[in-house]
Amino acid sequence: MICHFSYLNSPLREPLLHHQRPLEPPHLVPSSPDSLKTKGRRPRISAPETEAAEFQLQSMSPLAFTLLLILISIGALGPTEAARAFFVFGDSLVDNGNNNYLLTTARADSPPYGIDYPTHRPTGRFSNGLNIPDLISERIGSEPTLPYLSPELTGERLLVGANFASAGVGILNDTGFQFVNIIRIGKQLEYFQQYQQRVSALIGEEQAERLVNQALVLITLGGNDFVNNYYLVPFSARSRQFALPDYVVYLISEYRKILARLYELGARRVLVTGTGPLGCVPAELAQRGINGQCSVELQRAAALFNPQLVDMINGLNGEIGSDVFVAANAMQMNLDFVNNPQAYGFVTSKVACCGQGPYNGIGLCTVLSNLCPNRDVYAFWDPFHPSERANRIIVQQIVSGDSKYMHPMNLSTIMELDFMT
């Protein structure tokens, strides 16, 4: 069951478990705006709440207290922050439908997109069903985030968070120009500011700031800066301006500004995904691959980009004095099933479920495309995007993966730490 709670006309409250007594809202000690390191810390619980908690424990009968310890020990009442707000920024891998409201060619609003979504209708997600933000929402006990441009995102729905992502965007403003009208990352951040103003009007500035500080943020950028910019056409403007290693350095420097701005806007828990194996998606196998092998040049680009992204994140966290930014190794998460699809229950990681041409990797997924009967046995849904089942594998590693996949910690650890602080 998905928990939901209201901030309207009341203090911020945790969602209630069955038969759980409501607790008084915590008293927060505000952080100092004068220190970058202090700003990086999450709000601290002050003495009144600690004393109240101790009083409640002391008031419990021995039998009830023993039962509580047993439930915790078996994980029935493990650390949870159900219904914390969730914000999403980035490209088509995480877009929940913003582009439906734009005059753009980067759309997923017609069948067979959404064929396995609960409504069995296209939603604007570039998936046969659920995408990565949907599955993360499931894991943190939240409702799925609505696209920020959705007219349904009003009132209490705002308190769940929002999805600002837009298919086709990249780190750079000139990425995805061929899609005409998309929400570039700078505009996504402007919308995030606008969102905070709307929530402040709803629940007050202090509570709105707290909601944002305690939220989980996901940002996915970078792939389009290669596929739909540097390598879009031979002798592209960026490829004439930069050698590939220099282009990657430039991308990382621009990405750093984006992440720093997110921090300025109040984000304190940010999952940053690297690029996947760009040269191994069906579209690139069809256009650039040789004999079914991944495109060497695009794989080289990803191999240059991802380690530098982690280094940049480490540097930012060091300056802040807190692990605000967490790197998700999307390359390895994808390569696991790309290199050994049968081990994960897929019949292929080369051929897309929906498409046409070699590897079903040419053009768009439409009602006229080839369509596989069982999406669960295909790693890729369309020429560029994983199937829902592949997304579930990726999210499982985000939640519980070791240091091979998540640095410096996975989402489960984040939730546990945030529960205790």
Query: Residue 378: beta bridge partners?
Result: 348
Total residues belonging to the chain = 421
Q: How far apart are the first and last CA of the chain?
A: 25
Closest C-alpha to 154, from 8, 1, 316, 32: 8
CA dihedral 327, 333, 335, 336 (to 10 degrees): 140
DSSP per-residue letters across 137-176: HHHHT-PPPPBTT-TT--GGGGGGEEE---TT--SSTTTT
Taking the CA atoms of 174, 190, 272 and 263 in sequence, report the sign of the dihedral they define. positive
Name the pairing type of β-strands 270-273 and 370-371. Answer: unpaired
Closest C-alpha to 389, from 344, 348, 351: 344
State whether residue 13 is helix, strand or coil. Answer: coil
User: Cα separation of 338 and 276, whole Å?
Assistant: 10
Catalytic status, residue 385 = yes
Taking the CA atoms of 261, 262, 264 and 269 in sequence, report the sign of the dihedral they define. negative
User: Cα separation of 348 and 376, whole Å?
Assistant: 11
R_g over Cα of the chain: 22
User: Cα separation of 371 and 195, whole Å?
Assistant: 39
- Angle (CA) 78-81-86 rounded to 5° is 140
Query: Residue 28: beta bridge partners?
Result: 45
From residue 221, alpha-carbon distances to 35, 252, 259, 310, 321 in Å are 29, 11, 11, 14, 24
Of the listed 91, 95, 336, 382, which one is catalytic?
382
Residues annotated as catalytic are 92, 382, 385
